[in-house]
Amino acid sequence: MLFITTTPTVGGNGDTLIEAAMEAAKEKGSKVQRVDVRDKNICSCKACYKCKDSGKCVQEDDFSQLLNLIHESDGIIAEAPIYYNCMAAQAITVIDRFCCTFSCPSYQLGLKKKVGILLTCTGSSTEEMKRHVNNILTLPSLQRSIEEFKTEVFTNCGSADSCLHNKEYLQHARMIGEWVTE
């Protein structure tokens, strides 16, 4: 199981929710691995389309390592904070780098897997945020590798420790962690 955080805040809501989901997955017997995007050097996509023949991005950064982990995983849970009704730049940068998966028609992301998405925000509409994720994860290039996905939106996260003190939020994160392992 691969757990990806895109929050820039160490010890904040995203980290808290990922830890809860990881704990639940471990309790179900899953081997877990966590990647904090904030600690990686992942550059923006240049839209050069040099990846169209091989599916390999020409940029030499940490994205290829992350992509290999995605290939190898049985399931994925990713976390993203919402700023101004959009996923934070760190999350969008990772998503944009999936260009190599759709510009090369024969590219495969490995076996189909379950994907859980955890979004934290202060006041964004839950339905709008779920629609945003749906628009991304139903792209044909990604859909080839997604068996099923669930999105959980955690609202009213006005401080870095909002989720830490919310038992309902922690339980929902754990439920996603359990669901992906099924």
Q: What are the pLDDT digits (tens) for 30-56?
A: 999 999 999 999 999 999 999 888 888
pTM equals 0.91
Q: Quick one: pLDDT at residue 112?
A: 82
Residues in the chain: 182
d(CA 181, CA 91): 23
Low-confidence ranges of the chain (pLDDT < 70): 109, 141
Q: Quick one: pLDDT at residue 53?
A: 86
Q: Classify the C-alpha dihedral 95-81-179-34 as positive or negative.
A: positive
Give the three-state DSSP class for 42.
coil
Q: Quick one: pLDDT at residue 38?
A: 97
| 165: exposed, middle or buried (Cβ count in 10 Å: 0-12, 13-18, 19+) | exposed
CATH of the domain at 32: 3.40.50.360
Q: Which domain holds residue 112?
A: 2-181
Q: Classify the C-alpha dihedral 6-11-13-18 as positive or negative.
A: positive
CB 99 within 8 A of CB 64: no
Find all residues with CB under 8 Å of 102, minimum gap 6, and list them. 139, 140, 141, 142
Q: Quick one: pLDDT at residue 141?
A: 67
Q: Quick one: pLDDT at residue 30?
A: 96
Q: How many domains does the chain have?
A: 1
